[in-house]
């Protein structure tokens, strides 16, 4: 009996841990600040017509759906620019996430921010 309950609780916790991080991050972040931080730290390489040694493709919130942004932020360590991300504070990344996710292509308020 106790073992059964224990297993149930464990399964619930595991399911929560798999789902929670993405959701919590998007909710915790400040999208307004994220927009500013994105411009400051990401835009240089990801704007239309960017030049330099390491030009990324042009990105804006509507470049991806919310599910796609979730994938990006879940696997941020495997991005070509992971070294750039790791220079930022975790809270700043959360804010950038809130901005991109919150205005994604399939969000209630899609935004193409230059």
Q: By CB under 6 A, is residue 105 in contact with ligand HEC?
A: no
Q: By CB under 6 A, is residue 32 in contact with ligand HEC?
A: no
Q: Which stretch binds ligand HEC (CB under 6 A): 9-17, 21-29, 54-62, 102-110?
A: 54-62
Helix (H, G, I), strand (E, B) or coil at 103: coil
Q: Please give the Cα distance from 35 to 4 (Å, whole number).
A: 47
Helix (H, G, I), strand (E, B) or coil at 86: coil
Give the distance from CA 74 to its chain's centroid: 7
Q: By CB under 6 A, is residue 77 in contact with ligand HEC?
A: no
Q: Which stretch binds ligand HEC (CB under 6 A): 16-24, 25-33, 37-45, 106-114?
A: 37-45
**Sign for the pseudo-dihedral over CA of 45, 94, 114, 101:** positive
Binding site for ligand HEC (CB under 6 A): 41-42, 44-46, 54, 56-57, 59, 72, 79-81, 84-85, 88, 96
């Amino acid at each position: 009996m106790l073992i059964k309950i224990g297993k149930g609780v464990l399964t619930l916790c595991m399911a929560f841990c798999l789902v929670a991080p993405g959701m919590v991050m998007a909710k915790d972040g400040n999208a307004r600040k994220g927009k500013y931080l994105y411009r400051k730290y990401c835009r240089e390489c990801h704007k239309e017509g960017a030049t330099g040694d390491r030009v990324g493709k042009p990105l804006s919130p509507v470049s991806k759906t919310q599910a796609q942004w979730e994938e990006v932020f879940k696997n941020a360590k495997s991005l070509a620019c992971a070294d750039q991300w790791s220079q930022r504070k975790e809270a700043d990344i959360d804010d950038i996430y809130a901005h991109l996710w919150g205005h994604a292509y399939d969000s209630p308020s899609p935004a193409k921010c230059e």
